[in-house]
Amino acid sequence: MISFNLFLPETNDIITEMGGGDLKGLIFLLFSLTAAISRPFSGKLTDTIGRKKVMYVGVIIGVTASVIYPISGSVVAFLSLRLFHGFAAGFLPTGATALVTDIISKNGRGVAMGIWGTFISAGFGVGQFFTLYVVESIGRVGLFLLAGFFCLLAGFFISQIKETLPNPQKFKFSLLKVTFDDVFEPTVRPAAFVMFCSAVCTGVVFVTTPDISGFVNLDNKGWFFIFYMSSTIFVRLFASSLSDKIGRRKALIIGLGFMMISMLLIATAHEWIQYTIGAIVFGLSTGVSSPTVFAWVADLSPEHRRGVGAGTLFIALEFAIFCGALLTLAFYDSTLSTIPLLYSIGAGTSTIAIIYLIWHIRMKESKT
């Protein structure tokens, strides 16, 4: 996650300097597009050739993209690399999530996914907060090479982990033929819908927070993410077992309530204090919601289709980030005046998810 995020705060400036400032939304839109396209393949391969091999594919793509970024001298080349880099996000997290699901106990999934999510959040926060200091020390080329190094380091750690898929098959090209059954696991539909509604906000945040930092007179473009990371880790230390105690859906309602509040705080922020509070509340939201939705998918997925189940959730995530980036292309013109509408839409998607969860609880109760 450090590798994926280390250079993100610089991407808006990079593409603007290349003359593509009005295409900022494409930085995440294209990345999310290929990540989503690759999920059906990575999900099927995760359940056939093994978790680790799929993760290695993501590492190879991640390292390759990172070291080529510095020589992309045009908007087209840079965005093409973002398109290619998205495949790394399509493979690595899918295999990793299936592997984690294999090794955790059913009764402690909320806690285990809290630990898992903490390191994901730490990667987001550390990567984006230290961008400025890395650029000042070793320049942008060094920044991209360091991102490649962290991805390579992830590959080394993967080599130290045991494969958890029983009797993995050898790869054959026929495994790349996917059907709708390989794309979508219907049992995880409720969790995927909630993930989509909440992650639209993530897509908006990714594109706009480097600019908002400048609007509120903060030099560090990764300011939002260090406070987001700190609060999400804090809440996971104390609330990681919340969904194990009160249920996944009730915990998600709490998390999404925090998300709605954070979107409204950022929408109306004109100085750094309220903006920082918005980042902290956003972290509280993901600290509750993220491990809960992953644990819910683990509950809902059939054991033999954990890779497809994880892939379905990540397709929802990537499609949501894609839509969030698309919203920024439609409504954001790189000025503070367009932020309120954009973030109000994010608050609206969070509200839709809360309403859905309340309906889902009542439907389940009425059936029992």
User: pLDDT tens digits, residue range 233-255?
Assistant: 888 777 767 888 899 999 999 99
Residues 62-93 pLDDT 10s: 999 999 999 998 999 999 999 999 999 889 98
Count other Cβ atoms within 10 Å, centred on residue 232: 29
Structure tokens at 188: 């995880």
Q: Residue 65's domain is classified under what CATH number? A: 1.20.1250.20
Q: Rg of the chain's alpha carbons, rounded to an integer?
A: 19
Is 175 contained in some domain?
no
Q: What is the pLDDT of residues 323-345, one digit of tens each?
A: 988 899 889 988 999 999 999 99
Does residue 309 form part of some domain? yes
- Note whether residue 42 is domain-resident: yes
- Helical H segments across the chain, by residue range: 2-5, 8-17, 24-46, 51-68, 75-103, 109-129, 131-159, 180-183, 189-215, 223-239, 242-246, 248-267, 272-300, 306-331, 339-367
How buried is 314 (Cβ within 10 angstroms: 0-12 exposed, 13-18 middle, 19+ buried)?
Answer: buried
The predicted-structure confidence for 4-27, as pLDDT tens digits, reads as follows 999 988 998 999 999 988 888 888
User: What local confidence, expressed as pLDDT, does residue 97 receive?
Assistant: 86
First to last CA, the chain: 42
Cβ burial, residue 166 (10 Å; 0-12/13-18/19+):
exposed
What total of structural domains would you count in the chain?
Answer: 1
Instruction: Note the pLDDT of residue 207.
Output: 85
Q: For residues 195-205, give the mean pLDDT.
A: 92
In angstroms, the CA 333 to CA 80 distance is 23
- pLDDT tens, residue by residue, 99-136: 988 988 877 777 887 788 778 878 887 888 889 899 99
Q: Write the DSSP string, 266-291.
A: HHT--SHHHHHHHHHHHHHHHHHHHH
320 falls within a domain: yes
Query: CA geometry: angle at 231 spanning 216 and 351, to 5°?
Result: 80
Q: Find the mean pLDDT for residues 154-162.
A: 95
259 vs 234 pLDDT, higher one: 259
Contact 93, 41 (CB under 8 A): no
Q: Is residue 174 part of a domain?
A: no
Residue 167 in any domain: the answer is no
pLDDT digits (tens, 9 = 90+) for 272-289: 999 999 999 999 998 899
Please give the Cα distance from 255 to 101 (Å, whole number).
Answer: 22
Is residue 177 included in any domain, yes or no? no
Q: What is the pLDDT of residues 311-326, one digit of tens each?
A: 888 889 888 988 988 8
Burial of 353 (0-12, 13-18, 19+ CB in 10 A): buried
Q: What range defines the domain where residue 350 resides?
A: 2-161+182-367
What pLDDT is attached to residue 274? Answer: 97
Question: What's the pLDDT band for 94 if we cut at 50, 70, 90?
Answer: confident
SS3 89: helix
Is 29 among the domain residues? yes
Residue 368 has what pLDDT?
60
Fill in the amino acid letter for 182.
Answer: D
pLDDT value, residue 57 = 96
pTM: 0.75
Is residue 69 a contact partner of residue 81, using CB atoms and an 8 Å limit?
Answer: yes
